[in-house]
Amino acid sequence: MTNITPNNTPYPAYRSSEKGSFAWDSTVRRWPIILEKSMADMRDTVAKSQSQQVQAEGTAIIAGIQALMDEIAADQPLRLLKDDEEDTAVWNRHIQEYFQGLTWFSATWLFCECYLYRRVRELFSLSAHWKEFDIFENQKVETFRGSQASVFELARKMPAMIEPLPIEKQEIIYQELLHVCLWGNATDLSLLTNMTEEDIKRLQAIEAEHLAEQKKHIVVDDTDALWDKLAHLNQGRVDFVLDNSGFELFVDFVLADWMLQTNKAAKVVFNAKTIPWFVSDVMPKDVPDIFARCKDPNFFPKKPTPEDQEALVKLVERWQSYVTEGRLEVQAHDFWCYGLPYRFMRQEAPDLFDDLKKSDLVIFKGDLNFRKLVSCCDWPVTTPFKEAIGEDLAANFTSIVSLRTNKADTIVGLKEGVKEELEKTVSPNEWRCSGKYAVVEFSK
């Protein structure tokens, strides 16, 4: 296909104009729930403030979110941003160049959803007292609190997992940790509108038996191909393009820790978001925050035993030392918070593109990163992952892997017949969008 643009994707882009689609459901049902919850949190914060000016501005921001909801419901055209942030001019160029005159329902779902979070950000950017406020902070913290059992279980298990072991045993541990890291992506707060907390706890469970059962739900599984890569990797650089904070970030650290301890990696880079994003995504500030929470014996709802607390503190102190020593670096880039597919990375963020080219392996976590990698369009489901990410990424990056629980229709890489087999027992919506199925897709 010639002339691929963010609005002219290789196959038809998902758009909310298609009634009954997941994109449409997100726009008419899920976004309002997310925004209502955020407004409720804002109201609580406003009420706690002692300053009248802060309160007045906070109340105006809440009104701004309500107005944004009304604008979406009325399917208004996407307007230019009015703030003056580092990324404002770029965002406005994208709107003018690709989506001029298009509306919340007629522009691509990918662009609109990113634009939604950027518009929420605009309300804070334009304020005097709320500039740095993370409207989703409360939600991030509360969900992490609910991950107590798996957090302590991992903290207890980690010492045995990083002992020097023969390569066959290492492989078994790799399989387990990779899948823990994969299913950690089920903890996405913007999907809580579909899933119960019980569902999420079940998906987070990390016992070997449970993981084996879950394996049946991995519809594209390149775990072995990735192991071939890692088994031969010595002192490399591994990048994580992070997704969610809380438990998912915790298990990203677990996998990074294992890579550093087994000398697969000499350096790990965590790529985070620059603004509050899709409710739960990691910003750099969330990293010291998660360390502090883990080290606080009163953070989790049930008081941990002294042994458990000690195991967790030891683990987190090791992670902190990686950061201090520069073996683990946390960086953020505006590109991750644009509304464009990643095939436009070289064009839009050449510095980032060149930097990631130096990495031996780039791990893209989660659903949104997957949608952006494959341009969030309706590919034939058996399209190879390598083809869907586009030649530029496939040919220039050493290796890319996507660890994603499926939370949107977008899918590629299925073997022939898998879709038909799946759909004998589960609905397309269930395996594509519920977050209970997953993919591990690798391109070398």
Find the shortest distance in angstroms from Cβ 367 to ligand F6P.
3
The one of ligand F6P, Mg ion, none whose footprint includes residue 204, by CB under 5 to 8 A per kind, is none
Task: Say whether residue 406 binds Mg ion (CB under 5 A).
Answer: no
> Which residues of the shown chain bind ligand F6P in the complex (CB under 6 A)?
26, 113, 185, 188, 190-191, 243-244, 278, 366-368, 371, 407-408
CB of 276 to ligand F6P, least distance (A): 13
Cα(231)–Cα(218) distance, integer angstroms:
22
Pick between residue 188 and residue 221 the one whose CB is nearest to Mg ion.
Answer: 188
Counting contacts by CB under 5 A, is residue 281 touching Mg ion? yes
Residue 257 or 281: the one with the smaller Cβ distance to Mg ion is: 281
- Contact between 139 and Mg ion per CB under 5 A: no
220 touches, from ligand F6P, Mg ion, none (C-beta below 5 to 8 Å by class): none
Q: C-beta of 355: minimal distance to ligand F6P in Å?
A: 22
Q: Look at residue 191 and give the partner it binds from ligand F6P, Mg ion, none, a contact being a CB closer than 5 to 8 Å depending on partner kind.
A: ligand F6P
Taking CB atoms within 8 Å and a gap of at least 24, the contacts of 318-326 are 318/257, 319/253, 319/257, 319/291, 320/291, 322/256, 322/257, 322/260, 322/268, 323/287, 326/267
Closest approach of ligand F6P to the CB of residue 436, in Å? 12
CA distance 48 to 12: 47
Q: Which is nearer to ligand F6P, 130 or 336 (CB)?
A: 336
Regarding 243 and contact with Mg ion (CB under 5 A), the answer is yes
Dmax over CA atoms of the chain, in Å, equals 64
Stretch that binds Mg ion, among 218-226, 243-251, 322-330, 349-357 (CB under 5 A): 243-251
- Our CB check for ligand F6P shows the closer of 341 and 366 to be 366
Size of the site for Mg ion (CB under 5 A): 5
Shorter beta-carbon distance to ligand F6P: residue 278 or 344: 278
Residues in contact with 255: Cβ distance below 8 Å, sequence separation at least 6, in sequence order: 177, 178, 180, 181, 363
Q: Which of 250, 278, 319, 379 contacts Mg ion by CB under 5 A?
A: 278
Choose from Mg ion, ligand F6P, none: what does 252 bind? Cβ within 5-8 Å by kind: none
- For Mg ion, which is the closer residue by CB, 360 or 367? 367
Q: Is 221 among the residues that bind Mg ion (CB under 5 A)?
A: no
Distant-in-sequence, close-in-space partners of 312: CB < 8 Å, separation ≥ 6: 151, 152, 155, 294, 295, 304
Kindly state the smallest distance separating residue 96's Cβ from ligand F6P, in Å: 25
Selection from ligand F6P, Mg ion, none that 408 binds (CB < 5 to 8 A by kind) is ligand F6P
Cα-Cα-Cα-Cα dihedral sign, residues 45, 49, 53, 55: positive
Q: How many CA atoms lie within 13 A of 259 on its CB side?
A: 31
CB 231 within 8 A of CB 264: no
Cβ-based nearer residue to Mg ion, 280 or 399 = 280
188 or 257: CB nearest Mg ion: 188
Buried b (16+ CB within 10 A) or exposed e, 190-203: bbbbbbeeebbbeb
306-325 vs 247-261: helix crossing angle, rounded to 10: 70
Which of the listed partners (Mg ion, ligand F6P, none) does 26 bind, with a CB threshold of 5 to 8 Å by partner kind? ligand F6P
Residue 244 makes contact with Mg ion by CB under 5 A: yes
DSSP-derived secondary structure for 136-149: THHHHHHHHHTTHH
**Binding to Mg ion by residue 252, rule CB under 5 A?**
no
Report the partner that residue 185 touches, choosing among Mg ion, ligand F6P, none (CB closer than 5 to 8 A by kind): ligand F6P
Torsions phi, psi for 256 (to 5 deg): -65, -40
Distances in Å between the alpha carbon of 198 and those of 90, 180, 201, 203, 253? Answer: 41, 17, 5, 9, 24
Supply the minimum distance, in Å, between the C-beta of residue 290 and ligand F6P. 16
| Residue of 77, 151, 93, 110 whose CA lies nearest to 9 | 110
65/162 with CB nearer ligand F6P: 65
284 neighbors 272 (Cβ within 8 angstroms): yes
CB atoms within 10 A of CB 231: 13
Cβ-based nearer residue to ligand F6P, 26 or 309:
26
CB of 55 to ligand F6P, least distance (A): 32
Q: What whole-number distance in Å separates Cα of residue 20 and Cα of residue 33? A: 17
The CA-CA-CA angle for residues 414, 420, 426, to 5°, reads 100
CB neighbour list of residue 211: distance below 8 Å, 6 or more residues apart:
176, 179, 180, 183
C-alpha–C-alpha distance, residues 255 and 249, integer Å: 10
- Minimum distance from CB of 257 to Mg ion (Å)? 22
Q: Which residue is nearest to Mg ion (CB)?
A: 278
Contact set with Mg ion (CB under 5 A)? 188, 243-244, 278, 281
